[in-house]
């Protein structure tokens, strides 16, 4: 019951925040790119929030139970590498190009309108699958802690996101991402110290884990060997480089410098 109240308060907070910032959305550029006035520390939080994702957190946490530290090769390290490459090679360039607000825009600028349309269709199909995985992660989370069915949880999450994204556009997404990133960071810190307290210190925790799983803290394991780690980096890391949501955030930066620093700041936040 307490958890349901907390979730309800959180949902209401996100909607209220979005409604408040809707007053700053007056043009199409405001709606789609936040008026191109995003500072680096705001971009860092919203990019990091996107890198975390519901499905990626569940996948890494679930595999860490069986594969130990080596589970970071599944999504965590590839995501960091992909975001690093994207920030270094594309952040400033995307922000400097006039009239470019999305990857299809970039494709049309480099090739032609036909290529843009083909790429746009592929992008839409990808994000349908990607968004569904995020909603499924939320649905499973809500079910695990409240007993509400997975489908109902997915539906609630979809409605809430549609409301605050429609009301204030990209600006609402950035602000709510920043709030969620801050909550997530604080929650991780609390969880870390609570775990140390409940486990009677790190030494006791590590001894207990290694007594049953000796290679738990190894960077590689029998399940995730170096060759498979390279495959994960190639599959997930390189796939993240041209993602629309990251490019849109670069395009929304106040200037090229803020675009670059925002991308790099996201990498720092993502490490914990």
Spatial neighbors of 85 by CB under 8 A, at least 6 apart, are 237, 238, 241
Whole-number pLDDT of residue 1: 66
119 φ, ψ to 5°? -65, -35
Residue 231: the pLDDT is 92
CA angle centred on 65, ends 146 and 4, rounded to 5°? 10
- How many degrees, rounded to 5, is the angle at CA 102 between CA 122 and CA 272? 90
pLDDT, tens digit, 9 for 90 and up, residues 207-222: 888 888 888 888 888 8
- Per-residue pLDDT at 236: 83
pLDDT greater than 90 at residue 106: no
Tell me what pLDDT residue 62 has: 74
The dihedral formed by the CA atoms of 202, 205, 211 and 214, expressed in degrees to the nearest 10: -60
The structure tokens listed for 203 are 């030494």
Rg (CA), the chain: 20
Q: 31-81: per-residue pLDDT in tens?
A: 888 889 899 999 998 888 877 766 566 677 777 778 888 888 888 888 889
The band of 200, judged by pLDDT with boundaries at 50, 70 and 90, is: confident
> Counting Cβ atoms within 10 Å, is residue 98 exposed (0-12), middle (13-18) or buried (19+)?
exposed
| CA distances (Å), origin 166, targets 64, 135, 180, 198 | 37, 18, 18, 43
Q: pLDDT category, 99, cuts 50, 70, 90?
A: confident
Residue 81: C-alpha distances to residues 50, 110, 223 (Å): 14, 25, 21
Work out the number of other CB atoms within 10 angstroms of the CB of residue 235.
12
> Where residue 235 falls among pLDDT bands split at 50, 70, 90?
confident
Average pLDDT over the chain, rounded to whole?
Answer: 85
Tell which phi-psi region holds residue 68, choosing left (phi > 0), alpha (psi between -120 and 50) or beta: left
Q: At what angle do helices 244-251 and 103-110 cross, to 10 degrees?
A: 90
In this prediction, residue 87 has a pLDDT band, given cuts at 50, 70 and 90, of very high
Which pTM value belongs to this model? 0.84
pLDDT above 90 covers what percent of the chain?
17
pLDDT confidence of 265, banded at 50, 70, 90?
very high
pLDDT interval class at 175 (50, 70, 90): confident
pLDDT of res. 272: 65
pLDDT tens-digit map of 128-149: 888 888 888 888 877 877 778 8
pLDDT of residue 110: 86
Rounded to an integer, the average pLDDT of 222-230 is 88
């Amino acid at each position: 019951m307490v958890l349901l109240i907390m979730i309800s308060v959180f949902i209401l907070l996100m909607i209220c925040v979005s409604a408040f910032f809707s007053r700053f959305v007056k043009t199409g550029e405001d709606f789609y790119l936040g008026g191109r006035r995003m500072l680096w520390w705001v971009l860092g939080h919203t990019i990091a929030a996107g890198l975390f994702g519901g499905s990626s957190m569940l996948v890494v946490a679930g595999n860490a139970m069986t594969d130990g530290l080596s589970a970071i090769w599944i999504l965590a390290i590839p995501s960091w590498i992909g975001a690093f490459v994207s920030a270094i090679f594309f952040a400033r360039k995307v922000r400097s190009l006039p009239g470019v607000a999305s990857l299809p825009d970039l494709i049309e600028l480099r090739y032609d309108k036909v290529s843009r349309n083909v790429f746009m269709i592929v992008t839409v199909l990808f994000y349908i699958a990607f968004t569904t995985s995020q909603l499924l992660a939320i649905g499973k989370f809500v079910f695990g802690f409240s007993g509400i069915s997975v489908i109902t949880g997915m539906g609630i999450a979809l409605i809430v996101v549609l409301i605050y994204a429609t009301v204030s556009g990209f600006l609402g997404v950035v602000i709510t991402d920043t709030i969620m990133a801050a909550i997530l960071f604080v929650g991780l810190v609390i969880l870390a110290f609570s775990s140390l307290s409940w486990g009677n210190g790190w030494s006791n925790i590590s001894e207990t884990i290694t007594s049953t799983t000796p290679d738990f803290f190894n960077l590689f394991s029998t399940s995730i060997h170096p060759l498979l780690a390279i495959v994960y980096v190639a599959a997930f890391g390189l796939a993240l480089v041209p993602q629309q949501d990251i490019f849109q955030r670069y395009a929304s930066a106040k200037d090229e410098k803020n675009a670059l620093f925002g991308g790099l700041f996201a990498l720092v936040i993502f490490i914990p």
